[in-house]
Amino acid sequence: MRKSMLWGCGMLAGVAVLAASGCKSEQARVEFSYIVEPVKGLPPGMNTIYVDNAECGPNTDPRWSDLTATVLRNLIQESRDSFGTQVAVTDRSDTKGTFEEGDLAASGMSTQQGGAPPQLMAADGRVLSKVNVKVDVQERKNQTLDITSIGGWGGHGAGGGGADMQTREVTGYQRTMTVQTEFKLLDNKNNRVWDLKAGTYTATDETAPASPIYGSSRGLGDLPAADQMIAGLVDQGAREFVSGLMACRINVSGVVASSGGEECANGVKMLRAGMYPESLASFRSALAKKSDDHRAAFGAGLACEAMGDGAGALSYYKQALMGSQDMQYASARARMEAYASRMRKK
């Protein structure tokens, strides 16, 4: 009895060790940014731009209207203040209040002094936009080992006891956020559409998969806030549009995990430390041993992109996709296809 109980406990401990050992890979979240040069640029003589609030889709929260316009204004202002673009945003958000105050002064109902109210700067260009947000939630069922059923192991002989190990069903969720955007720059002086950019951007998150032993159901409350992810997708679309017209900052965030090799693990460690040349060397060593190591290829792509080597990054992202059709790899490849030749030299 004692022997079988010890065996049963040892079996359980061994399974726990195996579960833990599968989690020893290195992982890093990498964040960096760089500046890209415009494709088309602004029309000649366009010195001021007015940004309208966005038109929202039928099932889209109206607050994304103002947020989209704010993102666009900030990007244009940053390009002017930091990257030398000769254009200004004319802000008309307080127009109603300005006119009301002027009317009150003109009628003698206000003590305002000094004549006419302030004049608004004329706009040479106008940005119109549309945004449509969709959130899709899928429920997923998985089987996990019920830890309470293991207590009977060791009850009868070395076979493990009279109670059978049982499984139970746990529930998880996958959420997909899709943002459709359309941005348009109107050239007021020449009454024409100067540039038009439409795109669809997607992000997916899910509750952590159940452990084969200790799994438990997870609800939608375990998922991170959807608003932050949606805002990131709106920002992505806005940057793609603005970057075609003026110098613009591109922000990159990626998560890379190592494969089984030591070289790949070292590459992830150095990537996490911002040691990009050393990280790239380690990932290359990993790929020399195993050319289909998609994790090493993705890490090498991030290292190249962070160093401003767009062509190298694109090549590695394509190599990563040959090993795994990961959405993150596909997004990185699309980003480099758009920006590789336009990255401003450091």
CATH code, 320: 1.25.40.10
Tokens 């969709």 belong to 134
Alpha-carbon distance of 233 to 205, in angstroms, equals 13
Range of the domain at 297: 26-35+255-346
Burial (0-12, 13-18, 19+ Cβ within 10 Å), 214: exposed
Ranges of the chain with pLDDT below 50: 1-23, 94-95, 98-99, 110, 152-160, 162, 213-215, 217, 220
Residues 81 and 63 in one domain: yes
Residue 219 inside a domain? The answer is yes
Q: Which pLDDT does position 22 carry in this prediction?
A: 43
Query: Secondary structure of the chain: what % helix, strand, coil (to 5)?
Result: 45, 25, 30
Backbone φ and ψ for 204, nearest 5 degrees, come out as: -130, 135
Residues 201 and 124 in one domain: yes
Alpha-carbon distance of 325 to 345, in angstroms, equals 31
How many domains does the chain divide into? 2
Q: Which pLDDT does position 156 carry in this prediction?
A: 45
Residues 182 and 84 in one domain: yes
Alpha-carbon distance of 179 to 234, in angstroms, equals 7
Residue 301 inside a domain? The answer is yes
- For residue 310, which of 275, 341, 345 has the smallest C-alpha distance? 341
Domain C-terminal end among 191, 215, 246 = 246
Domain C-terminal end among 212, 246, 280 = 246
Domain C-terminal end among 189, 220, 246 = 246
Residue 52 inside a domain? The answer is yes
- For residue 179, which of 242, 251, 237 has the smallest C-alpha distance? 237
- Whether 60 contacts 19, CB under 8 Å: no
Residue 181 inside a domain? The answer is yes
Tokens 């050319």 belong to 291
Half-sphere exposure of 126 (CA within 13 A, CB side): 15
- Whether 245 contacts 43, CB under 8 Å: no
Residue 140 inside a domain? The answer is no
Q: Which pLDDT does position 170 carry in this prediction?
A: 64
Q: Which pLDDT does position 205 carry in this prediction?
A: 74
Burial (0-12, 13-18, 19+ Cβ within 10 Å), 172: buried
Tokens 């359309």 belong to 182
In this structure, what CATH number is given to the domain that contains residue 180? 3.30.160.150
Residue 43 inside a domain? The answer is yes
- For residue 316, which of 161, 306, 345 has the smallest C-alpha distance? 306
* Rg (alpha carbons) of the chain, rounded to whole number: 28
Backbone φ and ψ for 305, nearest 5 degrees, come out as: -65, -40
Residue 20 inside a domain? The answer is no
Residues 189 and 288 in one domain: no
Residues 231 and 267 in one domain: no
- Whether 104 contacts 110, CB under 8 Å: yes
Backbone φ and ψ for 324, nearest 5 degrees, come out as: -160, 135
Q: Which pLDDT does position 260 carry in this prediction?
A: 84
